[in-house]
Each structure stands twice: as C-alpha cells, then as structure tokens.
Structure 1
C-alpha cells in the first residue's frame, strides 16, 4: 500500500481516546487539512451536537454524520479526519472509511477515558453517571473499532507519542 494512495487519515475510537488532539498534531506534521467530524456537523447544521441529539435523537444525528463522512471522504483533498466515537456503528460508514483512507483506531483504558471526559458537559451520550455510561458504551462497542488498519492504545502515551506511532505504522503500511 503506497502512502500516495492514502489521501485521508481517518481517526476512529471511543470518546476521550485523543482523536481531536492527535488530529491537530498530525495536520501540523503532514501539512494537511484537519476535519473534526463533530465540528463539521455543527458547522453544516448550524447547531450544537447536543441540540441535534435533542431535536432529532441519535438516529437523526447518525444520518447527518453519514452525509458528512460521504462528503469529506469522497472529495480529492488530503485531510486528517477525526470522527465522532459512534461513526463506526454503521457498516456503510466503516466501508467508506476503509475505502477512502487509512483508518487508525485510538484506544484507551476505561479509567483513562473516564478521567478525560467526566467533566465534559458537551457529550450528550454521557448525561447521568458518566463512569457508568462509559463502561456501558464501551461494552456495547467493544469490537466496533476492530476494522481499522492500525490500532494504538493511547492510555500511557502523550499526544506527540501517538502521532509518532501513527506515522511509524503508516510507513510500514507502504
């Protein structure tokens, strides 16, 4: 697989695994455009994710998410795409990602995820007991990220170390 074939680097993973932070550093290194899936949806819809969930439910949000993925992944521009944690729940979305980019799954321990997201009120799926919801969602999604070309555990790594690991693995994929 040649690097030129991959004009998209797609970061997937559960919330709090580092997708947004790592995507920012990767775009600096690669000189590519950065697209944060959730930010792009908010821009396109002119609404916050939490408002979309409130108005249209998770199912309505997922339709918008798939439309955004199609647009970003099928255009010619090179980019690093940080997806929302649930984007992988659709087989269609997984195929889009695999067919149009190098897919990198970021993983972390439940304890690390909880520490990273417990105070973030902008995450609609965490309303209530955040720790309980993280464990519940991780169990539901335990194999959801297994389709990725590359998988990296971010639990004990800095964002810079994650970027270096991705670039090293990517060069092996060539």
Structure 2
C-alpha cells in the first residue's frame, strides 16, 4: 500500500493535515521532525543550535532511508526535507508526493507566535519567510499535486487530497 508524502513550507499545515488524512485513509502517520526528535533525544532547535543545519539535514536523509520501505503511511516532512534530491528519490519509490502551499502572509500569521522554528528565529520574520520560500520554490515543484491551504479548513484540504488520490487510482486502473 502506497504512502502519501506531504511536503511544503513550514506553516502550510503538513502535520495537522497529515494526522487527519492518515485517520481518514486508515494509514499510519509519521511526522519526520517528531521522529528525528525521538531518535536523537533532542528538539529540532537543539539540533540546529548544537550540531548545525548540516547535521539536521543528515538526520533527515537517514530517516528518509529508514522510511524507504514503509508502507500505508502518511508522512509529514520537515519544510527543508525536499532540498536533498536523495530524500525525494526515496519518497517517490512507494509514495505519492503532495505539496501544501500558502502565501508568505498566511505563513507569517500561522508561525509568528511559534519560537520552535530555528530557521526563522534570526532577523525579520516576514523577510526570512519570503527569502526561504524563494529559495525552495523549485524544490517544492517535485510534488505531483499541490494545494494552497491558505484559505481552506483542514477538512477541506483532506477532502481535496482524498479526491485527488481517488481520481489518480481511477486513472491508473483505466490504464491497466
């Protein structure tokens, strides 16, 4: 049974959508950031502060390799996990990559009170969001389907994903 891999910038709803989607599809749910925290015994902020971004990205790749043979799972990735093509290759092996997006303004509203975002804790928050979004735009294009979550409730996003997956399954059956 295939995986559904949610990618997108922080604050686009990957975790909350992922949990609901997993429940509706009767799949397991894994949040990669939470999994890395569990495996390392450190928070994401601690890893960034003590070990640096390179160590964190290598933890992401180790986890992607571990999840390579996972099945029947909804995987919510960290916002930068798509930056390594190896991670994408691993997720595509038995997963459907779905992108979640939102405007910089919406992301700002969603993350402005959260201090657990190490990449956003330096400088002006709005500027940093725009800079990181610009840097990652191309990387997020690996998704085979993308939904703007900015003006939608979580259940609407989940419904859209399920509808897409159903349509995709129908198209694949027609080809067989």
Q: Does 1:126 align with 2:120?
A: yes
Aligned partner of 1:66 among 61, 83, 92: 61
- 8 A Cα contact 1:50 1:123, kept in partner: yes
Aligned to 1:111: 105
- Equivalent positions of 1:26-37 (< 5 A) are 26-37=21-32
- Equivalent positions of 1:127-146 (< 5 A) are 127-128=121-122, 129-146=124-141
Q: Distance in 2 between matches of 1:89 and 1:17?
A: 17
Q: C-alpha offsets along residues 10-38 of structure 1, whole Å, 9 cap, x if unaligned?
A: 00000000001101101110121110000
- Equivalent positions of 1:77-92 (< 5 A) are 77-92=71-86
Aligned partner of 1:9 among 4, 9, 16: 4
Q: Distance in 2 between matches of 1:54 and 1:61?
A: 10
- 8 A Cα contact 1:12 1:104, kept in partner: yes
Deviation at 1:100, TM superposition (A): 2.1
Q: Does 1:162 align with 2:157?
A: yes
SS of the residue 2:139 aligns to: coil
Aligned to 1:98: 92
Pairwise CA RMSD: 1.0
Q: Distance in 2 between matches of 1:73 and 1:145?
A: 19
Deviation at 1:73, TM superposition (A): 2.8
Deviation at 1:113, TM superposition (A): 0.5
Structure 1 gap segments, 5+ residues each = none
Structure 2 gap segments, 5+ residues each = 170-176
- 8 A Cα contact 1:53 1:61, kept in partner: yes
Structure 1 stretches of at least 4 aligned residues deviating more than 6 Å after TM superposition: none
TM-score calculated relative to the size of structure 1: 0.93
Q: Distance in 1 between matches of 2:88 and 2:65?
A: 11
